Amino acid sequence: MQSKFPHKTTRRRSRSLGELRFFDERQPMRTARCGRLRLFEVRKSKMESHYPDVLQSFREGGWVMFLIFALGLPGVGGGLRFVWKGEHQLVAFLRYNTGAVLLASWFGFVVGGMHVLWYLTERATEGERVTTALVGLREASNNLSAGFLFALLTWMLLAIGHRRFPVPNPSALL
């Protein structure tokens, strides 16, 4: 007898959280292994597929994400160098680099907002304007989240470096 559904969807209860998840049998199993020992197998849930991954967030942020990453990666690298070696000459670079990353992220947010507003006024129909505005705001805020992430990492490394290598004479840096 032919099944009504071409693929089988099973409903399982998660043991840890007690929530229901729907698993598609067509999804390949992901197996975690340690040598030959198979630790566990997991199917990707349909409910988890609507969250964007890092690459999707990078694409949604637009071309400004390249600028944010080009400024943010050297900042994190300089912060790591400051934590490792304690070179206080890097402090001014890290401060200005963080400012540039934050300005680039706000620039990307504003540019994304301008594109959303143009689309809302020129092409969107009356029924889809609210949804389009919310999706556009989500896409534009990817720039802010990337910039804030790099700023947080840089300043966290800067704080760790100052804790490891305190300034012997603070008035000499002014």
pLDDT per position as a tens digit, 79-130: 999 999 999 999 999 999 999 999 999 999 999 999 999 999 999 889 899 9
CA distance 163 to 160: 5
Neighbours of 16 (CB within 10 A): 5
172 token code pair? 């000499």
Per-residue pLDDT tens over the stretch 43-58? 555 445 556 688 888 9
Q: Map out the domains of the chain as residue ranges.
A: 9-50, 54-173
pLDDT for position 171: 75
**The pLDDT of residue 63 is above 60:** yes
Contact between 146 and 71 under an 8 Å Cβ cutoff? The reply is: no
Side chain identity at residue 153, one-letter code: L
Query: CA dihedral in degrees (108, 99, 67, 136; nearest 10)?
Result: -20
CA distance 118 to 49: 30
Query: What is the pTM assigned to this prediction?
Result: 0.69
